[in-house]
Amino acid sequence: MGIDQASSIDQSLLDSRDVAHLWRDPRFGDLECLSARFRKHVYAPHTHDTYVIGIITEAAETFRYRGAKHIAKAGQVLALNPDELHDGQPVNETYAYRMMYPTPEVLSREMEDLAGGPLPPTYFPTAIIDDPVLARQMLTLHRVLERGGDRLEAESTFLAAMTQLALRHGEQRPQIRRVGNESAPIRRVREYLDACFSDDVDLGTLSAIAGLSRFHLIRSFRKELSTTPHAYLTDRRVTHARKLLHAGESLSETALLCGFYDQSHFSRIFKKRVGVSPGAYRSNRRGSSNFLQDS
């Protein structure tokens, strides 16, 4: 995905200690994402034709919105509606935040998937939200989008964060269909993941295989197997990687054959699940048979 300068930020006016990194993710309607730490930068009053959704990660930002002055502090979520005039600047010397700018079309797609049909546009009556659980979801999502890579992880995390935002803090809160007995659809999805673990699996394909909406699929999968499709896929990849490493396959080839998007990603995920790095695991392949036990 390409990295572009933020159109609303004149980089030449930034203090040398101001940092702004903007990129776009084509998987979500060319979604703009911004990670910034500002010491001196002051936004002029402006609007977006998208939502402004994110989290303050350090200190506090003050801004005017709907004719009132607001202060958003670290750990608080921001949710601004499209075409609403606002500005922004540090409360004291420095603040940092992570923002996303989903279009109304992208957010509507997530909400319609949740409700199983068309809905009015999502409207957030409160710009600043105190919700620690949601804040963690938003921070996780932004970091996932920043590192790119795994499609299923990004789509699942985006869907979860945006639907929770709307369900907990949107003006219209759609009813969620209750999870029933979805054993057969989930078995089909599981068989697909077992066979295609090395592919860049997307949530839409799994939804079509199951005959369920993406939102309902994730909930049904968790009820059936006590895990998410992405976590299940990751475990299949790690299980196969262990077999390849035990057979003496190289780290780079193992990462490629098991569907990890680079060796760093492979090492990080492998160590989280196995307890040692792939290199250490491969070096000890002639050691204890305990290394071959699935976690």
pLDDT in tens, 250-267: 999 999 999 998 899 999
CA distance 32 to 111: 19
Report the DSSP pairing between strands 43-46 and 68-73: unpaired
Q: Are 76 and 55 in contact (CB under 8 A)?
A: yes
- Does the structure show a pLDDT above 80 at 88? yes
- Region 267-282: mean pLDDT is 95
pLDDT tens-digit series, residues 98-115: 999 999 999 999 999 988
Query: Distance from first CA to last CA of the chain, Å, rounded?
Result: 34
Percent of the chain with pLDDT over 70: 91
- The alpha carbons of the chain give a radius of gyration, in whole angstroms, of 22
Q: Is the dihedral of CA 238, 264, 1, 111 positive or negative?
A: positive
pTM comes to 0.88
- ∠ CA 241-155-255, nearest 5°, is 20
CA distance 78 to 55: 6
Higher model confidence: residue 65 or residue 175?
65
- ∠ CA 118-120-124, nearest 5°, is 130
